[in-house]
Amino acid sequence: MDYFPAFLKLKDRPCLLVGGGVVASRKADLLLAAGARLTVVAPEICPALALYVTSGRITHRIGRFTPSDVNGHWLVVNASDDPELGSEVFEAANGARIFCNSVDDKGLCSYVTPAIIDRSPVVVAVSSGGAAPLLARKIRTQIETILPARLGHLATLASAWRDRVKNRIDGLLNRRRFWEQVFDGVVYDDVLAGRFQSATRNIAFLLEAASRSQRKEGEVWLVGAGPGDPGLLTMRALQLMQRADVIVHDRLVADEILALGRRDAEKISVGKVPGCRSTTQEEINELLIRLVRDGKRVCRLKGGDPFIFGRGGEEIEALARADIRYQVVPGITAAAGCAAYAGIPLTHRDMAQSVVLLTAHGKDSVDRLDWPSLARDRQTLALYMAVRRFPDIQSKLVEYGRSPDTPIAIIERGTSDNQRVIHGSLENLTDLAEQHGVIAPALLIVGEVAGLGVGREWFEGQAAAQAPDRPVPVAVF
């Protein structure tokens, strides 16, 4: 983050605007809306600014800017179109340690102004840090369309009731639940429909009910976070992540996904970190139970789908034994996500009648697998946690009759910006993995369909965008 986002309180604070044209008048509108005491320095000013001067809302110092003009101001805005003057203004402001913004000149800015969606007192600010102002404006337009016009009334109503709620409802968690009821339910609907009296009656009713039954009620939400791309989260996953008091997550869950959770939620990693002691399943179960008994709503966030090689089953068993409420939200499992992003149709009708999801993890797993059936033709195998077992998988499948030239694809960090797809055939699986230094998380796809991905890679990811010459998919036969 190159800029620290903040909202400045400018009410009654002297601010300086340099320039007297139309652009300056637009800046004046905003500064005055925030209550600033505004002085404009310019030899001449446009009619809109002149009106403000006549009505006494701004002071006009007639003349060219001089460095001493910045003295005594909290903020300087340079809206002149003269680059030389702009540099003078910026240097003077910087010298006096006053934040300065120059319209359309990022080099002469010590702060940037965001595009805003104004539902005062709710204000949403969007910034690209000066990198792409038009993109920020486009995002603003999109947000404008989804934020109801009366949102500000809702915030004002909440503010009027805040102290009463604090006096009647104990504890942060209980108050949070109360406000969620207000913002998600009938009060919200009332305000948006313009039924303000009804909204007031309903908030009073809710407060009465909430203050009578203040009991802690926690719950666990076992949520699948998908294979990596935040865009593959389900709507339900996102909703619950934003309501949870605590997010207990696996190491595989990407930071970009965690960032979508409630900002003030406690985040606890229970993942396995190579070289460090990892949390045992029993410890995770105990942690979930303890958190819920403390009244917390816990989002147990797992990579992919919680029930596919995710030990979600063990977690709900433990919760059920402890009589704790839970919900399960499925996620896109690695096989589905990785295959899609590698352009591999797992069950192309000409080549595969079934797809088998299997894991080769653990000491004896390779010996326990039903190799004669796995080696049959016209089926696709999607192998999880298999990187260290590639030599066994290769030799067993060939031993039980799968053709050595069966296509394979190894998808490393699938769906993420660092996705890598390596194509080859069963007979060179181990060599390829070694040659390319494949590391977990990686998924192995074995079957004719794997070959269909060659030349059909549509997803390149950020890594490819940053190094367009880098060959992302690798095909070796």
Q: Which residues bind ligand SAM (CB under 6 A)?
A: 227-228, 252, 302-305, 308-310, 333-334, 338, 384-385, 411, 413-416, 440-443
Rounded least distance, CB 382 to ligand SAM, Å: 9
350 is catalytic: no
Tokens of 212: 């009578």
Rounded least distance, CB 315 to ligand SAM, Å: 12
d(CA 381, CA 391): 16
Tell me which residue of 225, 294, 308 sits closest to 261, measured CA to CA.
225
d(CA 311, CA 298): 17
CB of 66 or CB of 462, closer to ligand SAM: 462
What are φ and ψ of residue 147, in 5° steps? -90, 120
H or E element: which one contains 95? helix 83-95
Rounded least distance, CB 177 to ligand SAM, Å: 31
Q: Please, are residues 297 and 262 in contact by the beta-carbon 8 Å criterion? A: no
CA atoms within 13 A on the CB side of 210: 25
Residue nearest to ligand SAM (CB): 304
Q: Please, are residues 233 and 213 in contact by the beta-carbon 8 Å criterion? A: no
d(CA 321, CA 324): 8
- Residue from 69, 190, 250, 305 carrying the catalytic annotation: 250
CB of 285 or CB of 333, closer to ligand SAM: 333
Task: Name the packing angle between helices 151-168 and 196-212 (round to 10°).
Answer: 30
SS3 content of the chain, % helix, strand, coil (to 5): 40, 20, 40
Rounded least distance, CB 309 to ligand SAM, Å: 4
Q: Which residue has the tokens 């910026």?
A: 90
Rounded least distance, CB 233 to ligand SAM, Å: 13
Calculate ∠ Cα 293-297-299, nearest 5°.
Answer: 120
CB of 52 or CB of 221, closer to ligand SAM: 221
Rounded least distance, CB 179 to ligand SAM, Å: 34
Look at strands 266-269 and 326-329 and give their pairing.
Answer: unpaired
245 is catalytic: no
Tokens of 19: 């320039």
Rounded least distance, CB 153 to ligand SAM, Å: 44
Tell me which residue of 270, 356, 359, 355 sits closest to 309, measured CA to CA.
359
Q: Which residues of 110-132 are buried (b: 16+ CB within 10 A; e: fewer)?
A: eebbbbbbebeeeebebbbebee
CB of 181 or CB of 415, closer to ligand SAM: 415
CB of 124 or CB of 440, closer to ligand SAM: 440
- Residue from 272, 294, 377, 405 carrying the catalytic annotation: 272
CB of 174 or CB of 333, closer to ligand SAM: 333
* Coil, strand or helix at 116: strand
CB of 65 or CB of 309, closer to ligand SAM: 309
Q: Give me the active site residues, please.
A: 250, 272
